[in-house]
């Protein structure tokens, strides 16, 4: 439970967490405060937009649409990882939800099933809309997932909350399915790991100042990719495939080589122009080198 931070404090928290923030004109005073109170705040709510295209998505989330005026959130997290701030204060994002869920968020305990819509969530939650069609097929690029993690951690750090204060819309209001494409338990684990680091990681170097030359994982050989093989290399490969729009994962990539990895890599091979047996989903040196998997 907390008094909402100032707009300036939120902006600083996001930037300190290493995020690239785009300030949409007038965001600091764009809100629905005339419709009801804003605060006390208890947590962070994540959504998917069910839209395509960053510019269009940001515009919709800022202005809203017939029957639901904007802002529809505080920040839009785009596929490239940028956070577009569109409003600050009360926003039309959470709607009515379960009071038992709210009590669990306040106590930072395990969430119960949401089975009623009786409590005003717009008053009590920061909201981030994440650019994604929400159809289970639209990929979640690694840069976007990391930005979601950082944005949620930034707000938690600002208020001294744990990751248990981060929830999905689907956990708040019966009938909602967002965000779809990654698990909330998995995202909370990522957020908590970041919070456990005690301080934000250093933001990226400013543009124009080159950092160290990136190192890429050398090709481990096709035989490395055997069913059940576990390696951080496979996780990093999967993240790169997602970033290239080739991820075919229902949940984010993990360390064990599985059918989802093979299907994702086959999509990458086809993207490079390979066909037939050359696009069988088993990495070869040429396609691997072009994927540029970060050195683990």
User: pLDDT per residue over 51-67, tens digit each?
Assistant: 999 999 999 999 998 88
Given this model, what pLDDT does residue 173 score? 96
The H or E element containing residue 106 is helix 99-107
Given this model, what pLDDT does residue 50 score? 95
Alpha-carbon torsion 143, 149, 150, 155, what sign? Answer: positive
Given this model, what pLDDT does residue 199 score? 65
Given this model, what pLDDT does residue 208 score? 52
Which residues, 6 or more positions from 26, have their beta carbon under 8 angstroms from its beta carbon?
A: none
Homologous superfamily of 7-196: Peptidoglycan recognition protein-like (3.40.80.10)
Ranges in the chain, pLDDT < 50: 205-206
Peptide linkage before 71 cis (omega within 30 of 0) = yes
pTM for this entry? 0.69
Q: Over the stretch 194-232, which tens digit does the pLDDT of each residue have?
A: 999 866 655 554 455 555 666 899 999 999 999 889 999
Given this model, what pLDDT does residue 283 score? 96
Contact 98, 174 (CB under 8 A): yes
Given this model, what pLDDT does residue 40 score? 96
């Amino acid at each position: 439970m907390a008094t909402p931070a100032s707009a300036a404090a939120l902006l600083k928290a996001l930037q300190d967490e290493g995020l690239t923030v785009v300030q949409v004109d007038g965001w600091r005073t764009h809100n629905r405060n005339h419709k009801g109170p804003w605060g006390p705040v208890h947590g962070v709510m994540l959504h998917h937009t069910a839209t395509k295209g960053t510019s269009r998505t940001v515009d919709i989330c800022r202005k809203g649409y017939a029957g639901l005026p904007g802002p529809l959130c505080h920040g839009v997290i785009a596929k490239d990882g940028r956070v577009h701030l569109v409003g600050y204060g009360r926003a039309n994002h959470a709607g009515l939800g379960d009071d038992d869920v709210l009590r669990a968020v306040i106590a930072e305990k395990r969430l119960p099933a949401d089975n009623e819509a009786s409590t005003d969530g717009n008053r009590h939650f920061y909201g981030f809309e994440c650019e994604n069609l929400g159809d289970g097929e639209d990929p979640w690029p690694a840069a976007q997932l990391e930005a979601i993690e950082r944005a949620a951690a930034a707000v938690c750090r600002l208020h001294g909350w744990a990751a248990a204060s981060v929830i999905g819309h689907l956990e708040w209001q019966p009938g909602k399915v967002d965000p779809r494409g990654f698990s909330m338990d998995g995202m909370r684990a990522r957020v908590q790991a970041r919070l456990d680091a005690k301080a934000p990681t250093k933001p990226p170097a400013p543009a124009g100042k080159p950092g160290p030359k990136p190192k890429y994982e050398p090709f481990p050989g096709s035989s490395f990719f055997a069913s059940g093989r576990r390696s951080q290399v496979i996780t990093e490969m999967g993240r790169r495939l997602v970033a290239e729009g080739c991820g075919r994962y229902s949940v984010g990539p993990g360390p064990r080589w599985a059918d989802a990895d093979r299907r994702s890599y086959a999509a990458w091979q086809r993207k490079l122009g390979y066909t037939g047996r050359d696009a069988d989903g088993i990495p070869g040196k040429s396609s691997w080198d072009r994927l540029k998997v970060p050195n683990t």
